[in-house]
Structure 1
């Protein structure tokens, strides 16, 4: 792997693009707002370099300076994110269709965005009583199987930072509402290989989710339905299927990223 100093002599214009996206991702990791000194500490880049890149982002609407002189992600990123979400959803839909056909329940794909997950694709169940989550809907990550599946792929300290930016409000009496309890839950998820929402987002609804390996935005696929039907689904059968579909989707995303 090429080291930082070596890249500085080889990268040219491409290196400046890499640095720009690195700073944008650091801003996102910090909750969308950060000081230049924090960017310098986390990126290791010189302040003049950071200032030059941020100034360019501000002038083009991809960042904005707050009255506090901190910098926040800009509104022009919204259009890029929405378009990328639609593309991701179109790639995921055939895999979700296979999952729904095999289980009879609604399948979803969601991506992590800050402290929330955003649903980007869904294939509904054919049952008259079924779960429906509008594509584009945002929900708190800590109360969902998809959110927990993604967080289980992250280092514990990153999860703590993420959850510290939210109050972890209970959605039902079963919602996990402390960082400590969530870390224990994520440990179980890593061991068993899937996440469970057992009425934590909505009473009477159960959901299974697995992370999509290597997804750039942190993504997971899930099935959800009424608790009575979902408890009859064998996890020994459905989880291996979900993992295969997640791996297949990950492979397709990797091909798309390198094309």
Structure 2
């Protein structure tokens, strides 16, 4: 019979400790790194990994590192679909109010994953396909997500993912990025100002109480999405983000 800790099943808690440690490390760790991260005894880690590898939730690489397994993809897709479904009505109301495209994205390893999108009715508009993955350092949602993480975690993400400059406006230095994230935390929102694509501006905010670092945004051409637009958009984004976070919390999605 599994031991219990804090009212939960201890062996299940330990499995999630291992999976979360691999996720935080970018997807893979050595056995010794897993022991250091999880503070679990090596025999316990061996036993849990055998089960996870056998079920396809973890795989052992040729260099003897342990990595997240392909069977997690189905669980992740299902969770992303659920989160996107919660957000869709809220994003729709955001588009109705601001007349620009709205998005919701979550952290997936070292990148952002777009899980919901409602396009603007304008002929010239931004369209981001649901399921698209993008860098964190030069997207509005990515920076809003990074602002929820500590500096060491951000440095680890950037060292693994790199910081390619999509435009000459993109941030390409981790210290410059950390300074920008501090400003985002202070003011409560992020801006992608021509950083991923010239001629496009995006305002984004974190979603509180989400089960994984999450953000929502509105984006459009710089001719329409200007400073005056931001003054209208940010309070609405923050209100919608709070509503989405409340729905996730009260629905038990956490």
Count matched residues: 253
* Residue number in structure 2 paired with 1:58: 53
Structure 1 residues 185 and 13, CA, compared in 2 at 3 Å: closer, same or farther?
Answer: closer
* Residue number in structure 2 paired with 1:40: 35
* Residue number in structure 2 paired with 1:148: 143
Query: Does the alignment pair 1:174 with 2:162?
Result: no
Unmatched segments (≥5 aa) in structure 2:
none
Structure 1 residues 225 and 13, CA, compared in 2 at 3 Å: closer, same or farther?
Answer: closer
Deviates more, 1:229-238 or 1:141-150: 229-238
Query: Does the alignment pair 1:23 with 2:18?
Result: yes
Quote how far apart the aligned CAs of 1:79 are: 1.0
- Rounded to whole Å, the distance in 2 between the matches of 1:240 and 1:9 is 44
* Residue number in structure 2 paired with 1:91: 86
Quote how far apart the aligned CAs of 1:11 are: 5.8
1:197 is aligned, of 187, 192, 198, to: 192
- Rounded to whole Å, the distance in 2 between the matches of 1:160 and 1:202 is 24
Quote how far apart the aligned CAs of 1:257 are: 2.2
Deviations 1:180-228 (A, max 9, x none): 1100110111111100000111110000000001212211000000010
Structure 1 residues 188 and 11, CA, compared in 2 at 3 Å: closer, same or farther?
Answer: closer
* Residue number in structure 1 paired with 2:214: 219
Structure 1 residues 108 and 58, CA, compared in 2 at 3 Å: closer, same or farther?
Answer: same
- Residues 128-139 of structure 1: pairs in structure 2 closer than 5 A: 128-139=123-134
Quote how far apart the aligned CAs of 1:143 are: 1.1
Quote how far apart the aligned CAs of 1:234 are: 3.5
- Rounded to whole Å, the distance in 2 between the matches of 1:55 and 1:225 is 48
Query: Does the alignment pair 1:249 with 2:206?
Result: no
Deviates more, 1:210-219 or 1:12-21: 12-21
Quote how far apart the aligned CAs of 1:88 are: 0.9
Structure 1 residues 10 and 107, CA, compared in 2 at 3 Å: closer, same or farther?
Answer: closer
- Rounded to whole Å, the distance in 2 between the matches of 1:26 and 1:246 is 27
- Rounded to whole Å, the distance in 1 between the matches of 2:125 and 2:7 is 53
Query: Does the alignment pair 1:73 with 2:68?
Result: yes
Q: Is the 8 A contact 2:88 2:118 kept in 1?
A: yes
Quote how far apart the aligned CAs of 1:129 are: 0.7
2:232 is aligned, of 229, 234, 237, to: 237
- SS of aligned partner of 1:132: coil
Q: TM-score, normalised by structure 1?
A: 0.93
| Structure 1 outlier segments of 4+, above 3 Å | 8-13
Unmatched segments (≥5 aa) in structure 1:
1-7
- Rounded to whole Å, the distance in 2 between the matches of 1:124 and 1:233 is 21
- Rounded to whole Å, the distance in 2 between the matches of 1:13 and 1:92 is 30
Deviations 1:119-168 (A, max 9, x none): 00001101111100100001111110100001111111111111111221
- SS of aligned partner of 1:108: strand
Quote how far apart the aligned CAs of 1:235 are: 2.7
